[in-house]
C-alpha cells in the first residue's frame, strides 16, 4: 500500500510540474524548476527530464541537456529519442550514433529498450551529416530488423542521406519503391541532381512533379543561377509567377544574382518594389542582393542609396558596396568606405579584400594595394587566396611592374590559374613586353589551348614591336588548329525578358527587320555627318 501511495505521489508531483515545463521557457526558469524537482526527488523522472531535454534542444543548450541525461540511472526510450533528436539538431552526429548504441546495449535498464519510428529519422539524418553511406545502410538494416513499417518521414530521411552521400542511384531506387511520395521526396531528389550539377535531370524530375511548391521552383532557380544559366533562371522565375505562386524572400535571393549577371535592371527594380511591398527589405540579405544587382547593372546611385538605408550593415553589405565601387572605377570611394568599415568595427573577410584590391588595381594605386595585401595576414589573419594574388598581379601589371608581377606569380603558394596568366599577358601587351608575354602564353596553352583571344593578344604585341614574323606565326597557328573567334554577344532587356544577340546569328525572330533598321540608322547617321560637314562652323554649332 505504501509503495502504491508512493507511485501515486510521484505521478501527482509529475502532473504538478509538467505544466510548468512549457515549450518556450527560458533556461533561467528551467534551472529553477529543476532545482525544485531535485528537492521533491523527481530527478529520476524520465517523463519530466524528457520534457526538459526538449526545452534545452529548443534553446540550443545541448550541454545542459547532456548533464540531465547523464544523471539518469534508467533512461527510457522517450528520453533516448529526445537526446538523439537534440544531438542531431546540434550537428553532433557522432554523439548521436554513440547514444543510439548505448540505447541498444544499456545494461542498467530493467527492460529492453527498442528503437521506434521516432528514433530512425534523426539517426539517419546524422548518418547523412557524417556523409557515411555504410553507416546509413546499417541503420536502415536495423530499422528493418526491428520490424518497423516504412513511413514517409523515415523514407525521406533515407532519401536525404543517399543524396548527401552523392548516391543518386540508391536514391532513385528508394524513390521508386517509396510507399508514399510527398513534396519533400520530390524536392530532395531535385536538390540531389542540382547539387551534382545535373540540371537537365533535375529539370525532368521537376516537370514530372505533380504538385510543385515554392521550394521546388526556388531550387531550380538557384540551381540555374549557380552554374551560370541565368536566362534559364529568369525563365523559371517567370513561369513560377504565371503558375500563381508568389515569390518568397528566398526566391528573390535566388533570382537576383541572375538579374545582376544579365543586366536585367527592369526585373531587378520590380523585385525591389515587390520586396518593399511585402516587408522583405527588413532582411539585410535582401538589401545586400539588391545592392549587388544595382551595382552590376550600372545603377550605382541606387546601390549607394540602398546601402545608406541599411540600419545594421553586416560584412556582406560593406564588401558588396566596396566591390561595386571598385567595378565602377571609384577607387578612392572604395578605399574610404573600407576605412568607414574599420571605424564601424566590422571585421573584413576575404571578399572585402578582393573588392579593395580590385579598386586599387583599376586606379593603379600601387602603394595602397600593397599595404592592404600585406595587412590581410598581419592585421586580420586572412591568408591571401588566388583571387587576391590575381588582383595584385593585375595591379603590378597595370603600373608597369611586369617583372615583379612574374616573380610574384612564381612565389605564389598555390598554382596560378588561367586568369592570372591572362592578366599578365594583357599587361605585357599594354607595356610591349614580349619576353614575359611568351612565358605567359606558354602557361596559358596548358589551360586554354583553343582560346583565340590569347593568340590575338600575343599577335598584337608582335605587331606593336614590328615583329611581323611573329604575327604571321600566330595567324598560322590559329588556322592550323581550326580555331574560331568567339562571336560578340550583347544583351538587352525588353518587357522584363533578357534577349541575347550574337554576332552573325540570324536565328532570332525578326532578324531581317533588325538588320534593316540598323542599316537605316547607319544611313541616317552618315547623312547627318555629311550635313554637319557642309554647314558653316557657326551654324553647325547652333544646330547641335
Instruction: Band the pLDDT of 41: cuts 50, 70, 90.
Output: confident
- Contact predicate 69/83, CB 8 Å: yes
Instruction: Band the pLDDT of 304: cuts 50, 70, 90.
Output: very high
Cα dist. 238→30, 230, 263 in Å?
49, 13, 16
Q: How far is CA 285 from the centre of its chain?
A: 12
What's the DSSP call for residue 241?
Answer: H
pTM: 0.77
Q: What is the dihedral of CA 525, 530, 531, 535, to 10 degrees?
A: 140
Determine how many CB atoms are found less than 10 A away from the CB of residue 422. Answer: 22
Q: What is the pLDDT of residue 520?
A: 82
Q: What is the pLDDT of residue 368?
A: 93
- In tens, the pLDDT along 283-300 reads 999 999 999 999 999 999
φ, ψ at 276 (rounded to 5°): -65, -45
- In tens, the pLDDT along 226-276 reads 998 999 999 999 999 999 999 999 999 999 999 999 989 999 999 999 999
What CATH code is assigned to 385-488? 1.25.40.10
Query: What are the cell numbers at 340?
Result: 568607414
Instruction: Band the pLDDT of 40: cuts 50, 70, 90.
Output: confident
Instruction: Band the pLDDT of 4: cuts 50, 70, 90.
Output: very low
Query: What are the cell numbers at 345?
Result: 568595427
- Contact predicate 397/425, CB 8 Å: no
Q: What is the pLDDT of residue 490?
A: 64
109 three-state secondary structure: coil
Q: How far apart are CA 15 and CA 47, in angstroms?
A: 10
Q: What is the pLDDT of residue 462?
A: 79
Amino acid at each position: 500500500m505504501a509503495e502504491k501511495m508512493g507511485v501515486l505521489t510521484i505521478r501527482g508531483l509529475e502532473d504538478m510540474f509538467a505544466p510548468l515545463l512549457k515549450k518556450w521557457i527560458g533556461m533561467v526558469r528551467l534551472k529553477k524548476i529543476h532545482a525544485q524537482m531535485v528537492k521533491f526527488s523527481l530527478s529520476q523522472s524520465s517523463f519530466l527530464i524528457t520534457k526538459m531535454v526538449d526545452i534545452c534542444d529548443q534553446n540550443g543548450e545541448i550541454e545542459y541537456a547532456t548533464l540531465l541525461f547523464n544523471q539518469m540511472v534508467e533512461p527510457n526510450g522517450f528520453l533516448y529519442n529526445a537526446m538523439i533528436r537534440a544531438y542531431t539538431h546540434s550537428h553532433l552526429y557522432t554523439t548521436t550514433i554513440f547514444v543510439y548504441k548505448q540505447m541498444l546495449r544499456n545494461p542498467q535498464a530493467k527492460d529492453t529498450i527498442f528503437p521506434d519510428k521516432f528514433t530512425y529519422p534523426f539517426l539517419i539524418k546524422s548518418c547523412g551529416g557524417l556523409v557515411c553511406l555504410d553507416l546509413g545502410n546499417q541503420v536502415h538494416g536495423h530499422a528493418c530488423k526491428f520490424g518497423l513499417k516504412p513511413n514517409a518521414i523515415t523514407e525521406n530521411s533515407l532519401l536525404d542521406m543517399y543524396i548527401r552521400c552523392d548516391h543518386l542511384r540508391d536514391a532513385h531506387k528508394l524513390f521508386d519503391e517509396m510507399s508514399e511520395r510527398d513534396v519533400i521526396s520530390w524536392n530532395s531528389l531535385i536538390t540531389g541532381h542540382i547539387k551534382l550539377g545535373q540540371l537537365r535531370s533535375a529539370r525532368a524530375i521537376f516537370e514530372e512533379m505533380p504538385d510543385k511548391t515554392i521550394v521546388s521552383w526556388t531550387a531550380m532557380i538557384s540551381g540555374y543561377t549557380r552554374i551560370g544559366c541565368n536566362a534559364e533562371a529568369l525563365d523559371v522565375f517567370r513561369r513560377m509567377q504565371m503558375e500563381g505562386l508568389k515569390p518568397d524572400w528566398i526566391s528573390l535571393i535566388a533570382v537576383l544574382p541572375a538579374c545582376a549577371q544579365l543586366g536585367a535592371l527592369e526585373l531587378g527594380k520590380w523585385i525591389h518594389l515587390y520586396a518593399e511591398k511585402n516587408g522583405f527589405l527588413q532582411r539585410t540579405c535582401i538589401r545586400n542582393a539588391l545592392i549587388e544587382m544595382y551595382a552590376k547593372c550600372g545603377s550605382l546611385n541606387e546601390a549607394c542609396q540602398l546601402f545608406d538605408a541599411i540600419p545594421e550593415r553586416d560584412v556582406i553589405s560593406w564588401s558588396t558596396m566596396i566591390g561595386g565601387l571598385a567595378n565602377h572605377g571609384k577607387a578612392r570611394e572604395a578605399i574610404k568606405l573600407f576605412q568607414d568599415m574599420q571605424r564601424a568595427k566590422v571585421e573584413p573577410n576575404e571578399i572585402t579584400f578582393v573588392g579593395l584590391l580590385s579598386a586599387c588595381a583599376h586606379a593603379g594605386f600601387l602603394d595602397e594595394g600593397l599595404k592592404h595585401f600585406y595587412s590581410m595576414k598581419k592585421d586580420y589573419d586572412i591568408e591571401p587566396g588566388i583571387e587576391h594574388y590575381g588582383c595584385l598581379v593585375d595591379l603590378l601589371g597595370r603600373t608597369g611592374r611586369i617583372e615583379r608581377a612574374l616573380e610574384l606569380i612564381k612565389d605564389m603558394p598555390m598554382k596560378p590559374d588561367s586568369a592570372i596568366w591572362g592578366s599578365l599577358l594583357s599587361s605585357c601587351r599594354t607595356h610591349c613586353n614580349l619576353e614575359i608575354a611568351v612565358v605567359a602564353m606558354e602557361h596559358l596553352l596548358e589551360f586554354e589551348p583553343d582560346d583565340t583571344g590569347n593568340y590575338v593578344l600575343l599577335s598584337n604585341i608582335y605587331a606593336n614591336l614590328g615583329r611581323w614574323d611573329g604575327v604571321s606565326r600566330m595567324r598560322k597557328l590559329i588556322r592550323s588548329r581550326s580555331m574560331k573567334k568567339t562571336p560578340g554577344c550583347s544583351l538587352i532587356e525588353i518587357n522584363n525578358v533578357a534577349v541575347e544577340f550574337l554576332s552573325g546569328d540570324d536565328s532570332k525572330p525578326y532578324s531581317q527587320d533588325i538588320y534593316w533598321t540598323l542599316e537605316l540608322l547607319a544611313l541616317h547617321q552618315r547623312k547627318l555627318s555629311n550635313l554637319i560637314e557642309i554647314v558653316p562652323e557657326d551654324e553647325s554649332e547652333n544646330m547641335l
